[in-house]
Structure 1
Amino acid sequence: MHTKTNPIGLFDSGIGGTSIWKEIHALLPHEDTIYLADSKNAPYGQKSKEEIIELSFKNTRHLLSRGAKIIVVACNTATTNAIKELRAAFDVPFIGIEPAIKPAAISTQTGSIGILATKGTLTSELFAQKVSELKDVNIIEQVGYNLVALIEDGKLNSPEIKELLVTYLKPMIDANIDYLVLGCSHYPYLVPQIKEILPKGVHIIDSGEAVARQTRSILHKHNLLNETPKAAESLFYANNSPAVLQSIIGPEYTAEHLDF
């Protein structure tokens, strides 16, 4: 039986989902959280749908064993490939994250938007369905090959990442995009480098704030919002070296190694 004081569980293929955790924690500061970085199996974006589903089930089971009252799939690839199966298999609310292409398509003035995402997201049925609903918009899709691997290796500000971003963003700039959608929870950490490359007028959209609002809404709907005005406990675990996760969350929290 889940109670209001049970934690929110989040998982990702690595440290990227912390960009989602930060938005949730900012909006819901009294909610306890447990974050799993499945770094040992990162990146998910190059894996098969079956592998992604299997890993998502493994992460979910662990979070439920720790009493999670709701699961945030803080990974675009896992959401677009496994959320349907997760919801069918487990009796707990799930929050997924999807690339925010619809807001970009509605807002574009040039008629051209870009999306930078993993192969697993861009080739998923769910993404194809979302794209098919959009008419009269030129969508420049780009797989962010190797970006997640470099971030997970602690090379966030490396020349390799800058070089890849220049290559990936050039066709979008040539197509006169005015919105860039980040379709991977790792990519918000690349925004400073991306801004150096894109023309000044291009808007960058990620899903973090929308996911936080949806989490609050679903908790309220299920009468699971934590109403105790206490400081929240936030636990972070990685099944590989926790050093990169620690560098992202900062000294206020502790990233621990855990086999899961």
Structure 2
Amino acid sequence: MLVRDLESSLLARFPRGDAEAWDHVGLSVGDPDAEVRGVMCSLDATLDSLRAACSLGCNVLLTHHPVYISAPDSFCPSSAERPSSSAVVYEAARLGVSVISLHTNLDRSHEARASLPGLLGMEARSSLEHPSDPDATGLGSLCTCDPITLGDLAVRLRYSFETVPTVWGDSGMTVSRPAFLGGSLGDFGELAVRAGADVVVTGEVGYHRAQDLSLRGMGVVALGHDRSEQPFCSILADACASIGVPAEHVYVNPLPTQWWVPTQGDFA
């Protein structure tokens, strides 16, 4: 399989038309006519993920987040004076690694819709973007579940996503209509309100949005942007295997520890 065949098959499954107009999806750097030797699936395109791909003999780095949305002014070795994407593209070209990204087109897929609630044994009944049309592709997930307190839900989320969530709302409040949206919540909190959700689980949310939703009676759980979307890497890996890349040549890059939470006794 050639890189161009891999890209076209992935875009047939996750169409460009489902991506936001501002997004940058598909092949960013690489030789479309190169034979695919292996695929590393990673949330982000970084120098570390490039090196991890090369160490396993992969010449394709398939990511959820694009290496850039707007191209940097130059592509040069790593430097504090330039954005990190500059060095990633430079190094990918130098190493002969093709970088392909599936971002908001993957976010709108039925696979992404099912992924996050599925980790808790919940089933999405529609997207958050199109709550009245279960068959339509769209961002986020709307679910129903057995009644559970917000505190207990937060504990389940902590262990399912291996993170320390930030929670807004009364821990004792009962919820049964959760909404999920990986990444940034943005204005989708209002869609969750209109759809009748009583808690929204997301990656990150601005202070004033979280405060406003909480004061209006909705629980808000922020998992961390990366933690909320790492499960999408498994979707990428499954897609590669299903279109003909040998499963033994498809890898998922573990999520690195990029941020941390201090606890009592950690420091003198």
TM-score of the two chains, using structure 1 as the length reference: 0.33
- Bigger helix share: 1
**Between Structure 1 and Structure 2, whose CA radius of gyration is higher?**
2
Q: Normalization by structure 2: what TM-score?
A: 0.33
